[in-house]
Amino acid sequence: MLGIYNYTVILTYLGMLTGFAGITFASGGDTKKALICLMIAGVCDMFDGKIASTMVRTRQEKRFGVQIDSLSDLICFGVLPALILYMGSNARFRLIPSALYLLCALIRLAWFNVDEEERQEREQSSRRVYYGLPVTSAALIFPLIMGLCERQHWETQKIGTLALVITAGAFLTPFRLKKPALPGKIGMLLLGALGMLVVVMAGMDV
C-alpha cells in the first residue's frame, strides 16, 4: 500500500484519529469530550517526533513524516478547535472567527512544511527554534481557557472567540520561539494535566 506504516508514524496516526473523534463529539455538542480529545491529540503530537528520531529514516520517510504530521495537525489543532468554538448557541456570530482561525492554521502549517524541508537540506540536526506560535499550542490554550470560563461562570463564548482570533494571529506572527527541551515539555504536560482537570470538573455547557 502507499504510505509509511512503521512505528515512527503510528503515534501521528493515533493522534489524527483522536482528533477526528473530537470532531464527532463537537458536532454532537459534547464540548467536554471534544476538548479532552484535543488534549490527548496534543500529547500524541508532543512525542511523535521523539519516537521518529529513534529510527534511521530514509529521505523519503523524513519528508513523509513532515507532511503527515502537518496534515494531522490541521485536523487536530485547526479543524477541531475551530469547530468547538463554532458549535453552540449563536454559532453564526462565530463563523468568521472560526474560519479565520482555520485559514491561519492552514497557512502556518503549509509554510512550516516548506521551511522544514529547506532546513533539513541545510542541516542534519533537529529544529531548535520555531517562528510564530505552533498550532499544537491549541491543545493547551483552549481547554484551559474554556474550562476556566465555565468554572468561573465567565462569558465562555466571547472569551473563547477572542482567544481564537488572538491565537490565529500568533500563528502567522514571525516571532522566535525556542523549541522546548525536556523541562519545558514536563511543564507543558503539567499545564495540560491542569487543563484536563479543569475541563473534567467544568460543566461545559457552551
The pLDDT-based confidence of 37 (bands split at 50, 70, 90) is very high
Q: What is the pLDDT of residue 90?
A: 64
Q: What is the pLDDT of residue 49?
A: 81
Locate the domains of the chain by residue range. 7-201
pLDDT at 115 over 70: yes
Cell numbers linked to 175: 516571532
Task: Give me the DSSP letters along 181-201.
Answer: -HHHHHHHHHHHHHHHHHHHH
Mean per-residue pLDDT over the chain, rounded:
89
Compare 91 and 2 and report the one with higher pLDDT. 2
pLDDT at 46 over 70: yes
Task: Give me the DSSP letters along 18-54.
Answer: HHHHHHHHHHTT-HHHHHHHHHHHHHHHHHHHHHHTT
Pick the CATH number of 7-201 from 3.40.50, 1.25.40, 3.30.750, 1.20.120: 1.20.120
Q: Give the number of other CB atoms < 10 A from CB of residue 66.
A: 18
Q: What is the pLDDT of residue 89?
A: 58
Q: What is the pLDDT of residue 200?
A: 83
- The CA distance from 45 to 181, in Å, is 15
- The CA distance from 203 to 174, in Å, is 37
- The CA distance from 74 to 78, in Å, is 5
pLDDT at 182 over 80: no
pTM of the model: 0.90
